[in-house]
Amino acid sequence: MVLGMQALNPDRRLVLCAGLLAPAALLGACGTPLPLNPPPGSSAAAAAAQARLMDSALAHGLEAYRQYQDISVAFTGQWRPLINGIQPEVVDRAYRGASEERLLPSLGAVAQSWRGSDDPRLRKHVFWHRGDAATARPDELGLWYDGQASTDAARAAASALVAECCGLFLLGPLWLAGRCMPIEVTGTERVNGRLCDAVQVWLRPGLGRSPKDRVTVLVDRDDQLTRRLRFTLEGFAGTRGAVAEVDWLDFSRRFGVLWPTRFYEEVVHPLRLPAHDWALSGLSVNRGFSLADLRGPNLSGAAAAPAAPL
Asked whether residue 304 is domain-assigned, the answer is: no
Asked whether residue 139 is domain-assigned, the answer is: yes
Range of the domain at 150: 44-297
Asked whether residue 19 is domain-assigned, the answer is: no
pTM of the predicted structure, to 2 decimals: 0.89
Residue 178 has pLDDT above 90, yes or no: no
Mean pLDDT for 180-189 is 95
Mean pLDDT for 19-33 is 55
- Rounded distance between C-alpha atoms, residue 148 and residue 233, angstroms: 27
Q: What is the CATH number of the domain that holds 100?
A: 2.50.20.10
Mean pLDDT for 27-54 is 85
More confident residue, 26 or 99: 99
3-state secondary structure 150-169: CCCHHHHHHHHHHHHHHHHH
More confident residue, 14 or 70: 70
Asked whether residue 93 is domain-assigned, the answer is: yes
Mean pLDDT for 202-230 is 97
Mean pLDDT for 151-157 is 96
Asked whether residue 159 is domain-assigned, the answer is: yes
pLDDT in tens, 78-87: 999 899 888 9
Residue 9 has pLDDT above 50, yes or no: no
Question: How many structural domains does the chain have?
Answer: 1
Asked whether residue 200 is domain-assigned, the answer is: yes
Asked whether residue 34 is domain-assigned, the answer is: no
pLDDT for 28 equals 52
Which range (31-40, 154-163, 211-220) has the least confidence? 31-40
Q: What is the pLDDT confidence band of residue 297, given thresholds at 50, 70 and 90?
A: very high
Asked whether residue 190 is domain-assigned, the answer is: yes
Long-range CB contacts (< 8 A, 24+ apart) of 82-87?
A: 82/14, 82/15, 82/18, 82/273, 83/267, 83/273, 83/274, 83/275, 83/276, 85/18, 85/23, 86/18, 86/23, 86/24, 86/26, 86/27, 86/273, 87/26, 87/27, 87/158, 87/238, 87/239
